[in-house]
Structure 1
Amino acid sequence: MEQLLAYARQFERQVWIQSLGRCLFLAGYGLFQFYLPIVFVNQVGFSATAVGVGLSSASLAGAAGKFASGSLAESPRWGRKKTLLLAVSLVIVALLLLAIADEFPLFWGATVLLGLGASMYWPVSNAALTDLTAPQQRNEGFALLGVAESLGLALGVAMGSGLLAWLERGQLLFAIDSLVMLAFLGVMQALSAETRPAAEAAPSALSGWGTALRDKWLGMFLGANLLFTTYFALANNALPLYFANFVLGDRDGSAIGSITSLLSWQIAFGALLQLPVARWLGRLTRASALLVAMLLWGVGLLLVWMTGVSPAPPLAIAPVALGTIALASVAYQPFAGAIVAELAPRSLRGVYAALSAQCWSVGYALGPLVGGWALDRGPPLAHNGWLALAVTSIAGLIALSLLERAPSRLASEMSPTPSRVLSD
């Protein structure tokens, strides 16, 4: 108990408020992220490709949202707090539109607005945490946000399963979700503080983005990060539908309970291990920790492929596959955020976080589009696509190995302390 209290006291109050906000945001995010494809394909009647087009368009809109978020977060007029409140307001409007969308144009417009708002949240939230933590705290600070994410997602998935079983019209799930996001908006408005360093002069938008784009070490990380984000996108969007329609072989909705149990297991397992994994991997350089995460993603995707092609019962392999993906996720999160935070000049934290977050726009543009297309092509491609995806992790391992081999050059360019970026 004393150790727990000591851990809690190392973070200031605003860190815990940001974590509470992350939990609420992810509860709302979990309500729509996992169930949106299932509702619009199996209930509204859209094709998987059409839903994939909508979600990919949302990711493209998210690219603009992240640029806007990075610039607004560094603006003295907007700062972190106002940018965050704007982001969640856009998400609320989008969810209300999804609740009434029965034609593709309205669905497409709602998903674009959803992508714009949701994408604006991540850079400004991560920049706020960077403002609130010292360098030696950041691994565990981002791990704390990871725990909050996992708890929020678990709550959102559980709520979504129960609501879908109870609601006659599945789209009402999005209207209820808007209330969760409204609660998040109220908490952050009432309790959060502006964290942008008051003494920092805001760089011009073009010079700030130019500095980030010329940073070769950031670019090296972004290459590997594109693979990570594509894996996350496919796991969140295509994987539940793949399990429902190809592994459990049930399109009438009766498999929702099994899928929810699997997703809840994945999230709960990740939440339980987030802080221990962050502390254990904290002994390594940050690039080495990400190498471990990439290796785990490759193994997890290989196990997903096996759930569909192995003669063993799918529900015997699926928990192992999702447990491995959960480990990969919790190994990734603290160290990806910490590398970007340490690379960024103090006056450009929002810009660097936004540029890193662009990987999520690209990943979530490619993932749903390719995933939806593959699922529409039938069982051979739906199954073997996961094997092909697992093979791509080799490229990520190579990219991170190159980053691992250059710690002294990275340190000399970014900090007078030799181990500042790749390790604490």
Structure 2
Amino acid sequence: MSKSQIFSWFSLIHRQVWILMFGRFLSTIGTGLTLFYAPIFFVNQIGLSATSVGFALGCASISGVVGRILSGSLADSPQIGRRNTLLLATAISALACFVLATTHNFFILIIGQLISGLGVGLYWPATEAVVADLTPPENSHESFALTRLADNLGLGMGIICGGFLVSTTGNFRTLFIIDAVSFIVFFAVVYVAIAETYQSQSTQQELSAQIKVWIWALGDRRFLTYIAVNIIFTIYISQLHTTLPLYLKNFVPVGFSATGFTASTISTLFAWHLIVAIFGQLPAVSLVKHFFYPQALAISAILWAIGFSCIWFTGLCTTGHLYWATLALGVLATAVICYTPSAYSLVTYLAPASRRGVYFSINSLCWAIGYFIGPLLGGWALDQSQLLVNYFWLGLALSVFIVLAILLYLNRILLPSQ
């Protein structure tokens, strides 16, 4: 990709989107501190089982469903709108981090995850609706790619700093405190610099009208087909954040003791994952933009299959564990950066402008469902025999055939409108 292309992209991005990107960057630094180390902390230091931690992490999706439904209606409400929904989301997320920092048993972990899920649920539909409001449809790939780039930059910095703090101090609780502070800073950025983007010709929106919008969206056959495949994609992504770190730590037979990779090695591996995502994001979106939406998602699906197969090899091989793990995380990073801009651009393509909050809310519900099923499935697998744990990743790779079949059908029903 040439410099002139990159600068032309940048010039098309609305100033408010740049400000939102900055806030998201600061917030995801805090998220990166905890995202990959939380399962290790709760299992290896608090002493909970992998299944119970998987259940607790999945509980965030229960409250996340409530948050996402509320967010869609609040973001499309003239009385509240996108900005106030974002402010509420960041405040609740900060509270959740403080609760998780005090976790010492399963009950408090559940409470913290429920609060966290509510904050996350409120956040995503509103922030993606803001980006869609401020971006012409022909530039949606670029805007969503750049906001994801800001997320990945923040996550990368957070992962590196988190690995350093854990390896030098061994204090996991500090990570949650810093995460809370990052959400407070994000709250300040939204409060000071983000204006309301929702525009409605009416001053009131009755409850019955909001319900009709939800029914109308859920009756969109094209959108529902996308939702089915998107849930599977989010289950895949949840494995990166919940199951894979613990698998690499406890189940990969590395060294004489065969106890898995060290925390610093896992930190380096996920930093590599983020580096690929950061530097590959713009070239990837330049490539997938030339494909119709289901075709671009199919490219991502194939990459997921390759990445999961590499993780399977990581657990089976007798030497070269680090090589296969590095290859796997690089391929999976490429799968993610092909998926995200294509998925959100497809939602923008399908959603009427006045109903984007609800459409992005339903889209975000896929993440709630995926992050409920994924941690439960992964936690259950890690509590089984070593053989089943290894072949769990092969099963995920083979499930991609289901994804490709759904995408083939989606491509067929979308082409007439295209």
CA distance in 1, matches of 2:280, 2:405: 26
SS in 1 for 2:197: coil
How many percent identity over aligned positions? 37
In structure 1, the partner of 2:94 is 92
> Which of these residues, 222, 239, 245, is aligned with residue 240 of structure 1?
245
Counterparts of residues 3-22 of structure 1 (less than 5 Å): 3-22=5-24
Please identify, of 143-152 and 191-200, the stretch whose mean Cα deviation from structure 2 is larger: 191-200
Cα drift, residue 308 of structure 1: 0.3
Contact map agreement 1:248 1:255 (CA 8 A) in 2 = no
Cα drift, residue 389 of structure 1: 0.9
SS in 1 for 2:251: helix
Return the letter of the residue paired with 2:280.
L
Please identify, of 15-24 and 223-232, the stretch whose mean Cα deviation from structure 2 is larger: 15-24
CA distance in 2, matches of 1:337, 1:6: 21
Q: Are 1:389 and 2:396 an aligned pair?
A: yes
Distance 1:211 1:252, change over 3 A: same
Tell me the number of residue pairs that the alignment of Structure 1 and Structure 2 aligns: 411
SS in 2 for 1:150: helix
- TM-score normalised to the size of structure 2? 0.95
Contact map agreement 1:301 1:386 (CA 8 A) in 2 = yes
Cα drift, residue 299 of structure 1: 1.0
> Which of these residues, 336, 345, 350, is aligned with residue 343 of structure 2?
336
Which runs of no fewer than 5 residues in structure 2 stay unpaired? none
CA distance in 1, matches of 2:415, 2:232: 25
Output one character per residue of 1:94-128: Cα deviation in whole Å (capped at 9) or x when no partner: 11011111121111101111111012111111110
CA distance in 1, matches of 2:144, 2:165: 31
Output one character per residue of 1:369-408: Cα deviation in whole Å (capped at 9) or x when no partner: 1111111113112111011111111100000011112234
RMSD: 1.7
Q: Are 1:214 and 2:219 an aligned pair?
A: yes
Return the letter of the residue paired with 1:269.
V
Return the letter of the residue paired with 2:168.
W
CA distance in 2, matches of 1:378, 1:109: 30
- TM-score normalised to the size of structure 1? 0.93
Output one character per residue of 1:240-291: Cα deviation in whole Å (capped at 9) or x when no partner: 1100001155798970110010000011111101111101111111111001
> Which of these residues, 19, 23, 30, is aligned with residue 28 of structure 1?
30
Return the letter of the residue paired with 1:211.
W
In structure 1, the partner of 2:59 is 57
Please identify, of 232-241 and 248-257, the stretch whose mean Cα deviation from structure 2 is larger: 248-257
CA distance in 2, matches of 1:64, 1:332: 25
CA distance in 2, matches of 1:343, 1:105: 41
CA distance in 1, matches of 2:328, 2:308: 7
Contact map agreement 1:42 1:252 (CA 8 A) in 2 = no
CA distance in 1, matches of 2:201, 2:325: 51
In structure 1, the partner of 2:153 is 151
CA distance in 1, matches of 2:202, 2:144: 23
Output one character per residue of 1:193-241: Cα deviation in whole Å (capped at 9) or x when no partner: 1111243664622111101110000001011101100000011110011
Cα drift, residue 20 of structure 1: 1.4
> Which of these residues, 260, 270, 273, is aligned with residue 263 of structure 1?
270
Return the letter of the residue paired with 2:185.
A
Return the letter of the residue paired with 2:410.
L
In structure 1, the partner of 2:372 is 365
CA distance in 2, matches of 1:179, 1:187: 13
Which runs of no fewer than 5 residues in structure 1 stay unpaired? 412-418, 420-424
> Which of these residues, 314, 332, 343, is aligned with residue 307 of structure 1?
314
Contact map agreement 2:300 2:339 (CA 8 A) in 1 = yes
Contact map agreement 1:244 1:251 (CA 8 A) in 2 = no
Contact map agreement 1:26 1:153 (CA 8 A) in 2 = yes
CA distance in 2, matches of 1:309, 1:378: 14
Return the letter of the residue paired with 2:63.
A
Contact map agreement 1:66 1:120 (CA 8 A) in 2 = yes
Q: Are 1:272 and 2:279 an aligned pair?
A: yes
In structure 1, the partner of 2:166 is 164
CA distance in 1, matches of 2:18, 2:190: 12
Return the letter of the residue paired with 1:154.
G
Cα drift, residue 61 of structure 1: 1.2
Return the letter of the residue paired with 1:256.
A
Distance 1:180 1:248, change over 3 A: farther
Contact map agreement 1:42 1:251 (CA 8 A) in 2 = no
> Which of these residues, 228, 247, 252, is aligned with residue 223 of structure 1?
228
SS in 2 for 1:196: coil
